[in-house]
């Protein structure tokens, strides 16, 4: 039950709770009303039977004698004109004498009921109420002994009324209460659902708006024109939090961009002076070694500053308009450029009509970052396979290397800023900024795609850049076999 309600929305849970309360309350009131009425009707029935018994006893007290004959005459006189059993409200009155003779105001032989034999036996005079069933009908009876002047029981008087009328009244009330309960519960459920949706509806707008807010669209705010209730206070607090986040991100972006830009000039000056020093000054071997070390660190710092500046520009969201381009051709160009990074063996598999929409320079940068990462993960002479394919409405470029791969525990954070694979050559030699894969992943997201990392079963890492195929090309590709548009063209070089 609780697992089911957890999957419901907040408004649905509120409406369900109100409906359950109304249903339980209506059921309780219906049960109490039915029980009270049934008891009241049963009490009225017993009171009527007792009145009949009292009236008969009072009538006998006016008789001149209590002989059997006089008692029979008085009984007949009392029952004359009181026909019973013909209507629901007419009581059946009968008197059984000690000889077994029965005088009754009805032709209905109630005295023959199996459960009534003791109750009308004058040898066992009792005063009691009883309920018995005879010929399919239920009757309520009141039995009293008839005593002579010596206090001996000479007959037994019994008054009986059918219980069906009272039960029908109680059943009618029960039906009425049930119908009223259903109507009240239905109306209450509808009203509670409407009120819950009206009150909690802004929460859906809040969720919808917050889902579209990213660090590049922090200027969005949740629109709310309702009262200053709990929901209104929450929306106000959320918008205030977004204001603070926007300001914080803006300051961070400006700082990163400004710092990266300002650092480039002093780094260039320092590198220039060191190069002049290395060419003009006569340095001893230890000084020359230190100079080379400083130059390497300056080069790495320059790459780090450039990468930080690229990330700052991505965070700022400034982009040129996208245009159509062939990702397969772009991958070939990236492979051609990557051949000059280090002596590696490259293999390229292209795909026909791998057309996407994007920024050429940005996607080329993403592919070069992936290839540079593969170069750093492999040894001299290692192989790097680049494969471009079309699958449905997506274009995929896979870059696989034969290096040691990425530790499985590091796969979830391989695209984090400043993450460096401890198995890569750059990490072991102290190079790399740890931002190349982060920039590639951000560029993929900017183009509506994604970048995934995995380890190949045969060894090495596999990075997959996935971008949406242009809509017109996707429609063309859907009408032909996926494999017919592919051609394999190995490109090898060192």
CATH number of the domain residue 282 falls in: 1.10.287.130
Q: What is the pLDDT of residues 191-229, one digit of tens each?
A: 888 888 777 777 777 777 777 776 666 677 777 777 777
Domain final residue pick, 152, 169, 186:
169
Q: What is the pLDDT of residues 146-170, one digit of tens each?
A: 777 666 777 888 888 998 888 899 9
Helix H segments across 140-229? 164-212
430 shares its domain with 397: yes
Looking at residue 176, its pLDDT comes to: 92
| pLDDT by 10s per residue, the chain, length 494 | 445 556 677 777 888 888 899 899 999 999 999 999 999 999 999 998 888 888 888 877 765 555 677 778 888 888 876 776 655 567 888 888 877 788 888 888 888 888 776 544 545 556 788 888 888 888 888 888 877 766 677 788 888 899 888 889 999 999 999 999 999 999 988 888 888 877 777 777 777 777 777 666 667 777 777 777 777 788 888 888 888 877 776 666 666 666 655 666 676 777 776 777 777 667 777 777 777 777 776 776 676 666 666 666 666 555 567 889 998 898 999 898 888 888 888 989 888 888 898 888 888 888 988 898 888 888 888 899 999 998 878 899 999 998 888 888 888 888 887 777 765 655 445 455 577 788 888 888 888 888 998 888 888 899 999 999 887 655 555 555 444 544 444 434 43
Residue 370, judged by CB atoms within 10 A of its CB (0-12, 13-18, 19+), counts as buried
Looking at residue 40, its pLDDT comes to: 92
Which DSSP helix (H) or strand (E) runs through 450?
Answer: strand 450-455
Q: Which residues contact 11 (CB under 8 A, 6 or more apart)?
A: 193, 196, 197, 199, 200, 201
408 shares its domain with 449: yes
Q: Bridge-partner residues for 159, per DSSP?
A: 93, 142
User: How many domains are contained in the chain?
Assistant: 3
49 shares its domain with 165: yes
Please report whether residue 218 resides in a domain. no
275 shares its domain with 348: no
Structural domain including 269 reads 230-315
329 shares its domain with 379: yes
Domain final residue pick, 265, 295, 315:
315
260 shares its domain with 397: no
Looking at residue 144, its pLDDT comes to: 86
Looking at residue 385, its pLDDT comes to: 92
Please report whether residue 19 resides in a domain. yes
163 shares its domain with 252: no
288 shares its domain with 414: no
Please report whether residue 187 resides in a domain. no
159 shares its domain with 15: yes
Q: Each residue of 101-117: b (16+ CB within 10 Å) or e?
A: ebbbbbebebbebeebe
239 shares its domain with 336: no
Pick the closest to residue 159 from 63, 48, 44 (CA basis). Answer: 48
Decide the pairing of beta strands 383-391 and 394-401: antiparallel
Q: Bridge-partner residues for 468, per DSSP?
A: 394
**Residue pointed to by tokens 């972006």:** 253
């Amino acid at each position: 039950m609780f697992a089911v309600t957890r999957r419901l929305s907040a408004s649905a849970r509120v409406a369900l709770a109100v409906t359950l309360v109304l249903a339980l309350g209506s059921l309780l009131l219906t049960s109490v009303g039915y029980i009270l009425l049934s008891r009241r009707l049963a009490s009225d029935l017993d009171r009527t039977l007792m009145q009949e018994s009292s009236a008969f006893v009072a009538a006998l007290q006016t008789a001149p004698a209590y002989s059997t004959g006089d008692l029979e005459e008085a009984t007949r006189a009392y029952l004359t004109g009181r026909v019973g059993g013909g209507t629901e409200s007419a009581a059946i009155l009968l008197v059984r004498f000690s000889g077994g003779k029965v005088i009754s105001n009805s032709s209905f032989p109630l005295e023959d009921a199996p459960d009534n034999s003791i109750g009308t036996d004058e040898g066992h005079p009792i005063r009691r109420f009883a309920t018995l069933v005879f010929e399919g009908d239920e009757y309520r009876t009141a039995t009293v002994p008839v005593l002579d002047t010596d206090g001996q029981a000479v007959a037994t008087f019994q008054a009986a009324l059918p219980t069906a009328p009272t039960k029908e009244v109680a059943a009618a009330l029960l039906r009425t209460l049930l119908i009223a309960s259903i109507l009240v519960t239905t109306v209450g459920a509808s009203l509670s659902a409407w009120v819950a949706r009206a009150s909690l509806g802004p929460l859906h707008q809040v969720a919808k708006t917050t889902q579209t807010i990213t660090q590049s669209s922090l200027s969005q705010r949740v629109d709310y024109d309702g009262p200053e209730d709990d929901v209104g206070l929450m929306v106000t607090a959320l918008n205030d939090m977004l204001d603070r986040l926007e300001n914080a991100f803006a300051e961070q972006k400006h700082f990163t961009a400004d710092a990266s830009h300002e650092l480039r000039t002093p780094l260039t000056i320092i590198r220039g002076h060191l190069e002049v020093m290395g060419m003009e000054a006569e340095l001893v071997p230890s000084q020359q070694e230190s100079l080379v070390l400083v130059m390497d660190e300056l080069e790495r710092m320059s790459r780090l500053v450039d990468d930080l500046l690229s990330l700052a520009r991505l965070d700022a969201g400034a982009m040129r308009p996208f245009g159509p381009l062939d990702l397969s051709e772009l991958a070939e160009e990236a492979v051609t450029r990557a051949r000059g990074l280090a002596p590696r063996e490259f293999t390229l598999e292209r795909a026909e009509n791998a057309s996407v929409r994007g920024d050429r320079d940005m996607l080329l940068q993403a592919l070069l970052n992936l290839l540079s990462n593969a170069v750093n993960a492999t040894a001299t002479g290692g192989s790097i396979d680049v494969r471009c394919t079309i699958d449905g409405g997506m274009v995929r470029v896979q870059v696989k290397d034969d290096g040691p791969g990425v530790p499985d525990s590091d796969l979830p954070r391989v695209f984090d800023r400043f993450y460096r694979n401890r198995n890569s050559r750059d990490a072991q030699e102290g190079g790399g900024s740890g931002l190349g894969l982060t920039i590639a992943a951000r560029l993929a997201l900017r183009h509506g795609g994604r970048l995934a990392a995995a380890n190949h079963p045969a060894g090495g890492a596999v990075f997959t850049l996935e971008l949406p195929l242009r809509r017109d090309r996707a429609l063309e590709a859907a009408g032909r076999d996926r494999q017919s548009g592919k051609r394999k063209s190995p490109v090898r070089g060192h």
